[in-house]
Amino acid sequence: MMVGIDLGTTNSLIAYYTEDGPKIIPNRLGKNLTPSVVSIDENGQIYVGDSAVERGLLYPGSTASVFKRDMGSKKEYSLMEKKFTAEELSSFVLRSLKEDAEHFLGEEVTEAVISVPAYFNDARRKATKRAGQLAGLKVERIISEPTAAAIAYGLYGSDDHARFLVFDLGGGTFDVSVLELFDRILEVRAVAGDNYLGGEDFTNVIEELFFDKHKELDRHSLDEKTLRHIHKQADKCKIGFSDSRVSSMKCKINGEIYDMNIDIATYERECSDLFEKIRKPVKRSLSDAHIKLSDVDKVVLVGGATKSPILRKFAGRLFKMLPDVSVNPDEAVALGAAIQAAMKERRESIKEVILTDVCPFTLGTEVVREWEKGKYEHGIFCPIIERNTVIPTSRTERLYTVNDNQKRLNINVLQGESRIAANNLLLGELEVNIPAKKAGEEAVDVTYTYDINSILEVEVKVVSTGEVINQVFKGTDVDMTDEEIRQRFETLSYLKIHPRDREENKYLLLRGERLYEESLGDERIYIEQALHKYEQALNTYDNGIIDNAKEEFKKFLDELDEF
């Protein structure tokens, strides 16, 4: 069975294809969204999703979130004195989704199409693929999130020539993609974005307003648990604007209640800097696609952050049209990934369509430029395949020697947009021997070939001798071998994924513990009694008693957790 997965910064989803179209697979708590949060306890038990969120409010030092932003980097997260990379933490989320899908479908899930932000570079894409491998999945395709969303919206289903813009603002990343449909080909014309802009930043605006109002609160003197509580309430306040033009926030800190009311006009004004950050990638994508905004036939909104009324209002003003929101913004990418998985399986019910993508970053090499006769500037970036070139593609650049009797050339393979070579990402290098002659008399043809799976082949041909060398680059971190994946999997296997049949019980107990810590006086006594009663029911091992107690305890917690 092949599934589609949206591995998100804030939430992740998994979907599969049915005769009635793509469907989201609910997690072990019956929810479509699984928070991309991981927590580990003192016994090496891993918590993923809602239970990890609750545990993070109690034990922030052993919980990690928003780690997708660090995919492909060497940054490590310390949880219970153990260190993990972002891809290892992501593998726990993927493994949890895989287990949920297997339980729901009643069969083994072995393959997946996983989405990534369009603006992810090679290193980030390869890290995502490794995360899937560590989770026990064969990753058949890494698909860009806007492309997946376009598939979910059925933009490929029309026979008319049309242009679309996909506006994808998730919890932690922002992508904008321009796509064009013609002759049954859905072509990505341009992508742009910001890997450090998302819904979390809009939550932070409310958090800053809260601290501005309550200047007696010193952010730096508050512990991590309290800060997480404030952030959670700020997020609830943000969501409150979906139903009202005025939203409120209330926090209990050191036994005192601190509250704040904010109207939507004030909130919108305070978000003006974020709106400006959004405008830049939109302008850049249209410029790279060589089209005007008036040439766009439809704009679709994707990502949980676009459910915000101020974002939808901003998008309407920006694009001078009402965006299409007919597909749940939280689910569009996962549904599209599931359709792509069905296409990979060549399902007969899927209308055949050719999908193309683009190279998200410029690929090139380091050269020496002669601006005036005898005056050279070293360390300059020479683009060979420019960003937003439709892939697969192959381009050649001829490079000449700059020194007399030069016997070799080093070709640094770089990815990025900076004019200065050192500011770009080094993917690797090749060295080629050349005949020693006067400067400028020897040359090499450097050919870059880039395919749909983000694999780059570099070929260097010495013009005078015909000698050819080539090398395949798979990003800064070369793919792990099967043996390396197996060894790392065994290294991580001492960590125990929580049994799915006990997950909701643990989640409710953690919610109860968190509310107990946030409460005082008689309220604490009531929570303690309710916790004890629920634990007693769990100790009976009687499913009927446990189910009844679960419903009663959940209702009790929901009433307490309203504010």
pLDDT (tens digit per residue) in 407-435: 989 999 998 888 889 988 888 889 999 99
- Parallel, antiparallel or unpaired: strands 21-24 and 11-18: antiparallel
Structure confidence at residue 355 (pLDDT)? 67
- Last residue of a domain, which of 308, 335, 358? 358
Query: Which residue of the set 54, 68, 99, 129 is catalytic?
Result: 68
What does the mean pLDDT of the chain come to?
87
- Give the CATH number of the domain where residue 332 resides: 3.30.420.40
Q: For 58-64, which contacts have Cβ atoms below 8 Å and span 24 or more sequence positions?
A: 58/225, 58/510, 58/513, 58/514, 58/517, 60/224, 60/225, 60/227, 60/228, 61/224, 63/37, 63/38, 63/39, 64/37, 64/38, 64/39, 64/89
- Parallel, antiparallel or unpaired: strands 456-462 and 443-450: antiparallel
Active site residue 100: no
Does residue 241 lie within any of the structural domains?
no
Percent of the chain with pLDDT over 70: 91
* Model confidence, pTM: 0.74
Query: Which residue of the set 99, 168, 207, 503 is catalytic?
Result: 168
Does residue 493 lie within any of the structural domains?
no
DSSP 137: -
Does residue 145 lie within any of the structural domains?
yes
Nearest to 89 by CA among 103, 98, 78: 78
Domain extent for 434: 363-466
Tell me the pLDDT band of 147, cut-offs 50, 70 and 90: confident
Structure confidence at residue 189 (pLDDT)? 86
Tell me the pLDDT band of 478, cut-offs 50, 70 and 90: very low
Does residue 228 lie within any of the structural domains?
no
* One-letter amino acid for residue 244 of the chain: S
- Last residue of a domain, which of 466, 488, 509? 466
The set of residues, in sequence order, having a beta carbon less than 8 Å from that of 472 and lying 6+ positions away, is 455, 456, 457, 458
Verify that 383 and 440 share a domain, yes or no: yes
CA distance 85 to 75: 6
pLDDT reading at 494 higher than 70:
no
Q: What is the 3-state secondary structure (H, E, C) of 192-231?
A: EEECCCCHHHHHHHHHHHHHHHCCCCCHHHCCHHHHHHHH
Does residue 260 lie within any of the structural domains?
no
Verify that 138 and 163 share a domain, yes or no: yes
Q: Which residue has the higher pLDDT, 186 or 190?
A: 190
Structure confidence at residue 538 (pLDDT)? 86
CB 387 within 8 A of CB 359: yes
Domain count, the chain: 3
Does residue 165 lie within any of the structural domains?
yes
Does residue 210 lie within any of the structural domains?
no
Active site residue 243: no
CA distance 311 to 268: 9
Task: Give one DSSP letter per residue of 445-458, joined into a string.
Answer: EEEEEE-TTS-EEE
Structure confidence at residue 496 (pLDDT)? 52
Neighbours of 411 (CB within 10 A): 20
pLDDT tens string 206-255: 999 999 999 999 988 999 889 999 999 999 999 999 989 999 999 989 88
pLDDT reading at 187 higher than 90:
no
Query: Which residue of the set 88, 99, 100, 145 is catalytic?
Result: 145
- Parallel, antiparallel or unpaired: strands 174-182 and 185-194: antiparallel
pLDDT tens string 374-420: 778 889 999 999 888 878 788 899 999 988 999 989 999 998 888 88
Tokens of 541: 């091992």
For the residues 41-52, what does the mean pLDDT come to? 91
CA distance 263 to 244: 9
Nearest to 178 by CA among 322, 293, 320, 346: 293
Query: Count of residues for the chain?
Result: 563
pLDDT reading at 158 higher than 90:
no
Verify that 35 and 161 share a domain, yes or no: yes
Active site residue 168: yes
pLDDT tens string 311-364: 999 999 999 999 998 889 999 999 999 998 988 876 666 665 566 677 878 899
Active site residue 6: yes
- Give the CATH number of the domain where residue 433 resides: 2.60.34.10
